[in-house]
Structure 1
Amino acid sequence: MPASGAWQPGDPEGRRRWATVFADSPLCLEAGATLGPVTVAYETWGTLRPDGSNAVLVLHALTGDSHLAGPVEAGHPSPGWWEAIVAPGGALDPADWFVVCPNVLGGCQGTTGPASLATGGRRYASAWPTLTIRDQVAVEVALADFLGIDRWAAVVGGSMGGMRVLEWAVGAPERLERAVVVACGPVATAEQIAWCAVQAQAIRLDPGFAGGDYYDAPPGAGPARGMGTARRIGHITYRCEPELDARFGHDAQDGEAPLAGGRFAVESYLDHQALKLAARFDANSYLSLSRAMDLHDVGRDRGGVAAALARVTAKVTVAGVDSDRLYPLRLQEQLAAALPGGPPLQIITSAAGHDGFLVEADQVDKVVAGALQW
């Protein structure tokens, strides 16, 4: 396995398009560093109307990327993560909407991140700066300018993508008409930060991590073990206990247990998830994006969450997953209550926990379609 699953120049581009932003003046990050120029990898579907009125921005979660819809192909090791929504008859039917999905700043699928080359031809690696959700949205605003889109008809996202939707609505209220926020809250909770801290420690303690400077390591010598452990921990929080028990518990396995040194089915399942992520993702990106989620707080330097949400002028639809234990429904209830004038909280019914916002595509499609009609 290579030391990093990051996309690199020279790899197949797939459906990616490219924008360069902050070339003349660097981006000033919230934590104090500067960054630029920034390359943004993005994909589009549909055709932009001359008046720009049908533009929709869709924002991916932690380990997602710009491949919102489309098959596995050269350059795209995974199928589109909301395929049914950006399809004929879907809420974001390309016949009606111009849909844009960028890879996030700090990611590893084409947009500038830790695996990218910095000035001087060396990778950022351990020198990659601390990012916030707000920094990521600043790059997405610059992408909108690059594309000539003054105002989005809607900005849509779940989990980390939902955090960025909130930042758009609070920080650039004049740039969007509607917002769809799924499976997140207005500020990171202590438990969410704790889960990320344990995953980060697993990566950093892997000798192959080498303090973040592992990109020149030979195959098999990178931080794949630490990444795998982090993914196993994270994946448990993404699903829910009843689902895991129904699929992998003793009753589901006919009472058989690995008394002779075998493995429980749930162990094999977690191993599979770990190997998949280590093959297509980058450890430094995982750390950077997780830390940005830890720092998520729409009320920071804005007088608190309530004052920040009072800035919102977009029509906001909030949705949550009823079995989500990582971003429990109470967070979406609080958020919806703090945004007066919006529709009632939309509840996605799922046995898949937090991952329900990805698994229950038909229900999410209805949420997005309803938001676009409001």
Structure 2
Amino acid sequence: MANTQLSAVNDTAAIGELTLESGKELKDVDIAYQRIGAANAPAIFVCHALTGNHYTLNSEMGEGWWAGLLGNGQYIDLEKYQVITSNVLGGCDGSTGPLSVNPVTGSPYGAEFPLITIRDMVQAQKKLLDVLGLGRLEAVIGGSLGGMQVLEWGLMYPDFMERLIPIAVTPLLSDYAIGFNAAGRTAILSDPLWNNGQYGKESTPRKGLGIARMIGMLTYRSGALFNHRFQRKQTENWETIHENAAFSVESYLQYQANKLADRFDANSYLTLLKAMDTHDIGRERGGVVAASQSYKAQMLCVGFTGDLLYPSDLMEQFVKDVQAANKRAKYLEVSTMFGHDGFLTEFDKWGNLLKEFMRETIKT
């Protein structure tokens, strides 16, 4: 019998208290989520990236950030699966984070929001699924920060899912990537409106957050793509040397900076950057290789050529380490000019392989 189609459910679930890795306790934690697809069908949990949210398919603003990958008849077919996505703990789209009111003080957390880790995010997600009554997942999938969560899901709850699909990620965050995070943090903390994180709605550190976004954008896509797209095109302001953008690439980066500053919270951005810095599957597990050999689920690991932050060769080596104990792991490398942002684009290059993986059973 065909599965009944679910209307998109955008809601917030109360998951209660949450004890963080640091030992600190968050009270009255809420997690915002989207649930869509075929009712009572196998469930896929999607984990979003740094500035993403739970609107995977659609939102009031339009298409979601993975609308090209999932939908009716798409690579992840919503006529066959139900998909749940949550806004991460520490985010700013409805889940408990720096913008939330601290129930102890009655004021927003702001910069007082505690340090969280990827493992804290996954623990909150598991509590959400418990509230929703889901006892098992067909798959957990996500890219970048989302890929970090996927890797932790497979180690924290190894029997909870059949498949893991970590995309555009490595088993730990490199010093190179941490360095870019540090530059972004410095930009925000140097903004005159930062005010130790206690800024108001009308006086946010927009410039600092915008600069952090510009730094990020330069790492998300390859130099080849930037050069091909902009080709040193100049604007009408090309003779100026101060405020205005003289080249098209400058205008593009400023546009992206303003776009993020309009919708994202600086404290949340800092919180999530710090969480990314903690990413290391081998931490307190005997190292990366030992942790890699503890996975039980079938795995499809996807890397992208030209990814500065999460080099594909490191993902390939990770898969080899996994295969030493779990023969149900495979590696896919996607050739693209988009670099790290390949997981958000060019679905025609890798979507069908994802679709095949969801159908097959890899035997040892």
Q: Which residue of 1 aligns with 2:314?
A: 331
Q: Could you tell me how far 1:362 is from its partner in structure 2?
A: 2.6
> Residue 258 in 1 paired to residue 246 in 2?
no
Amino acid at match of 2:78: P
Q: Which residue of 2 aligns with 1:4?
A: none
Q: Could you tell me how far 1:260 is from its partner in structure 2?
A: 4.9
Taking every aligned residue pair, what percent have the same amino acid on both sides? Answer: 39
Amino acid at match of 2:126: V
Q: Distance in 1 between matches of 2:231 and 2:94?
A: 39
TM-score (norm 2): 0.91
Q: Deviations over 1:9-42 (max 9, x none)?
A: xxxxx95211110x2xx22111221112210100
Contact preservation (8 Å) 2:122, 2:153: yes
> 1:40 is matched with which residue: 31, 34, 43?
31
Q: Could you tell me how far 1:78 is from its partner in structure 2?
A: 5.7
Q: Distance in 2 between matches of 1:109 and 1:66?
A: 8
Q: Which residue of 1 aligns with 2:42?
A: 54
1:257-276 matches, cutoff 5 A: 258-261=238-241, 263-276=246-259
Q: Distance in 2 between matches of 1:231 and 1:133?
A: 21
> Residue 80 in 1 paired to residue 64 in 2?
yes
1:97-108 matches, cutoff 5 A: 97-108=81-92
Task: Call closer, same or farther: CA 1:256–1:336 in 2, change over 3 Å.
Answer: farther
> 1:243 is matched with which residue: 217, 225, 247?
225
Q: Distance in 1 between matches of 2:157 and 2:22?
A: 20
> 2:130 is matched with which residue: 120, 125, 145?
145
Contact preservation (8 Å) 2:322, 2:329: no
Q: CA RMSD in A?
A: 1.8
Which of structures 1 and 2 has the larger relative contact order (alpha carbons within 8 angstroms, sep 6+)?
Answer: 1
Q: Distance in 2 between matches of 1:28 and 1:84?
A: 36
Secondary structure, in 3 states, of the residue corresponding to 1:177? strand
Q: Which residue of 1 aligns with 2:96?
A: 112
Contact preservation (8 Å) 1:40, 1:102: yes
Q: Distance in 1 between matches of 2:52 and 2:234?
A: 35
Secondary structure, in 3 states, of the residue corresponding to 2:302? strand
Q: Distance in 2 between matches of 1:241 and 1:292?
A: 27
- The structure with the greater share of residues assigned to strand is 2
> 2:52 is matched with which residue: 48, 64, 72?
64
Give ranges in structure 2 of 5+ residues lacking alignment. Answer: 1-7
Q: Could you tell me how far 1:65 is from its partner in structure 2?
A: 0.3
1:123-272 matches, cutoff 5 A: 123-214=108-199, 216-217=200-201, 219=202, 221-250=203-232, 253=233, 258-261=238-241, 263-272=246-255
Moved over 6 A (4+): 254-257
Which shows bigger deviation, 78-87 or 175-184? 78-87
- Count residues with an aligned counterpart: 346
Amino acid at match of 1:200: R
Q: Could you tell me how far 1:364 is from its partner in structure 2?
A: 4.0
Secondary structure, in 3 states, of the residue corresponding to 1:338? helix
